[in-house]
Amino acid sequence: MVHQTFLAAFPNGYVTTEELIAEGEKVVERFSFRGTNTGSFMGAPATGKKVMFTGVSVFRVANGKIVEHWGASDASGTIEQLNLVPTPGHLKCHYISLAKAHSEGMLQYLHPLLPQE
């Protein structure tokens, strides 16, 4: 669900694999993402701004299929590039629980909750 929402916010986005390392059952990818925010993102309207961030994914492969995935990317940097960081005193943040993040394929995904007027 989080992945689909992200793709809707950056429909022209693309990932470039910067480095790929495989050993045994594990594959590690260092990647960069580039795209333009033309859809709603985390409750905020489209900004039209271009973003670029980097990240790392670790995959465990069994019988030719990805059976586990761990990853980290610069979510806070993306939020800053879109100028979506609330002013001090209004920032409320939480992390998706690790279990939910794992089930959605995203770990430590930061969601700022913007104050409601």
Cβ burial of 87 (10 Å; 0-12, 13-18, 19+) is: exposed
Q: What is the mean pLDDT of residues 25-41?
A: 95
Handedness of CA 32, 35, 41, 45 (dihedral sign): positive
99 and 64 in contact (C-beta within 8 Å)? no
Q: Which amino acid is at 54?
A: T
Q: List, in order, residues 6 or more apart from 23 with CB less than 8 Å away.
A: none
Residue predicted with more confidence, 14 or 90? 14
The model's pLDDT over 58-106, given as tens digits with 9 standing for 90+, comes to 999 999 999 999 999 988 888 889 988 765 544 444 333 334 444 444 4
CATH match for 2-113 among 3.30.70.1350, 3.30.230.10, 3.90.700.10, 3.10.450.50: 3.10.450.50
The model's pLDDT over 36-53, given as tens digits with 9 standing for 90+, comes to 999 998 888 999 999 999
Q: Which amino acid is at 58?
A: V
93 beta partners: 112
Domain boundaries, the chain: 2-113
**In the numeric block, which tokens belong to residue 39?**
């859809």
35 and 50 in contact (C-beta within 8 Å)? yes
Q: Is it the case that residue 25 has pLDDT exceeding 70?
A: yes
